[in-house]
């Protein structure tokens, strides 16, 4: 089948990494993959390196009102004639939604990974009622947040968990004093919370280090916070890292913490499980669909910084427990969160009448 992915996000985040994985997985199953992306986005560059057909458009929030830009997109759509279109977010839906029928495509899949209700203005109501054929969400948590959208759909939103290749020749021994946090340096990712957790950890484990893997607009504020708390020597900012470098860093850590204020899934938890790291996350996110509390890691209720600190100290003090949790997490990954399982579910939805 000819499958068109539409993602106009300019930055690189978990959603773009996931889009890249799904495109690659479907391509390996002999589907013809095409990407509509924003000019100079990292997703566009990655797709080009993977020999995926790409079309770049300069798209912003008001592009759905730009007749010239819409004409360009419509012309390309008619030339491509996709069998299915997978849309990344509301920006893409508003920009391309009214143009899809011109290509003769009726399979329009909207994906959602943000755990918050959507504002349903008249245009979006029309598009979900008349253009979108299916909605894929990445967790039960996200599904529960879009009940207002579900009422407009012909079919119920379907949960397809993210997945990764679960096999690795290397893994963590859980004996170092390094703690990892991975993600875009933005408010919702809670890196500032992780830094405050680290301040508590250092009272019991003065040799511990927090490795911050990622980049973003909050970096300068976070550096200032670290300096203000007097723990500059215990925090390492690694910046954005390619997947192969993330692997090298993770196997030098003893655990991964997810301190997000909100999170639709938490793909980084799977990456930690791949390399047999225990994980700690707040229970208010979709992490409770991934972590088995007290078996593969710890779920922290009520965003309790003190309790998260205590669990991190416990794992640093008991590496054998961390290793057991990491082993169990790796087993769970292989059973429930493989990329092959995810791609199969996507394929079934795409090919379903």
CATH number, domain containing residue 287: 3.40.50.2000
If you average pLDDT over residues 293-317, what whole number do you get? 97
Tell me, yes or no, whether 215 lies in a domain: yes
Nearest-CA neighbor of 22 among 97, 103, 90, 84?
84
- This prediction has a pTM of 0.91
Count how many residues are written for the chain: 353
Count of domains observed in the chain: 2
Tell me, yes or no, whether 332 lies in a domain: yes
Residues 146 and 264 in one domain: no
| Interatomic CA distance for residues 282 and 259, integer angstroms | 6
If you average pLDDT over residues 214-226, what whole number do you get? 96
Query: Residue 314 corresponds to which tokens in the numbers above?
Result: 């416990």
185 in Cβ contact with 216 (< 8 Å)? yes
Residues 156 and 210 in one domain: no
Burial classification of residue 153, based on how many CB atoms lie within 10 Å of its CB (0-12 exposed, 13-18 middle, 19 or more buried): middle
Residues 206 and 290 in one domain: yes
pLDDT at 243: 86
pLDDT at residue 353 tops 90: no
If you average pLDDT over residues 68-86, what whole number do you get? 95
pLDDT at residue 219 tops 90: yes
Q: C-alpha dihedral over 111, 113, 114, 120, to 10 degrees?
A: 10
Nearest-CA neighbor of 303 among 197, 222, 218?
197
Residue 154 β-bridge partners: none
Q: Which H helix or E strand runs over 238? A: strand 235-239
Tell me, yes or no, whether 306 lies in a domain: yes
Phi then psi for residue 190, to 5 deg, are: 65, 30
pLDDT at residue 323 tops 90: yes
pLDDT at 101: 86
Q: Which domain holds residue 159?
A: 2-163+339-351
Tell me, yes or no, whether 171 lies in a domain: no
Residues 151 and 287 in one domain: no
């Amino acid at each position: 089948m000819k499958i068109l992915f539409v993602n106009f996000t300019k930055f690189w985040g978990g959603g773009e990494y996931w889009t890249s994985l799904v495109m690659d997985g479907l391509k390996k199953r002999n589907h013809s993959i095409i990407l509509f992306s924003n000019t100079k986005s990292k997703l566009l560059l990655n797709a080009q390196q993977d020999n995926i057909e790409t079309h770049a458009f300069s798209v912003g929030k008001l592009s759905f009102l730009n007749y010239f830009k819409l004409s360009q997109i419509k012309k390309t759509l008619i030339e491509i004639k996709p069998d299915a279109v997978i849309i990344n977010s509301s920006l893409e839906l508003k920009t391309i939604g009214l143009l899809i029928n011109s290509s003769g495509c009726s399979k329009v899949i909207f994906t959602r990974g943000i755990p918050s209700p959507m504002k349903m203005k008249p245009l979006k109501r029309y598009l979900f009622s008349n253009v979108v054929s299916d909605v894929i969400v990445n967790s039960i948590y996200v599904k529960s947040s879009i009940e207002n959208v579900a009422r407009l759909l012909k079919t119920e939103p379907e949960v397809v968990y993210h997945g990764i290749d679960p096999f690795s020749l290397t893994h963590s021994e859980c004996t170092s004093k390094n703690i990892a946090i991975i993600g875009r340096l933005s408010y919702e990712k809670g890196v500032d919370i992780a830094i405050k957790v680290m301040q508590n950890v250092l009272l019991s484990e003065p040799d511990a280090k927090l490795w911050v893997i990622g980049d973003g607009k909050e970096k300068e504020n976070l550096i200032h916070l670290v300096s203000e708390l007097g723990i500059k020597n215990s925090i390492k900012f690694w910046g954005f890292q390619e997947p192969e470098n993330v692997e090298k860093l993770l196997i030098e850590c003893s655990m991964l913490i997810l301190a997000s204020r909100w999170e639709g899934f938490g793909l980084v938890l799977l990456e930690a499980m791949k390399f047999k790291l225990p994980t700690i996350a707040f229970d208010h996110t979709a992490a409770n669909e991934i972590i088995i509390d007290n078996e593969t890691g710890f779920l922290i209720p009520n965003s309790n910084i003190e309790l998260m600190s205590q669990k991190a100290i416990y794992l640093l003090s008991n590496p054998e427990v961390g290793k057991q949790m990491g082993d169990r997490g790796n087993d769970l990954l292989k059973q429930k969160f493989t990329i092959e399982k995810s791609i199969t579910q996507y394929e079934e939805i795409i090919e379903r009448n």
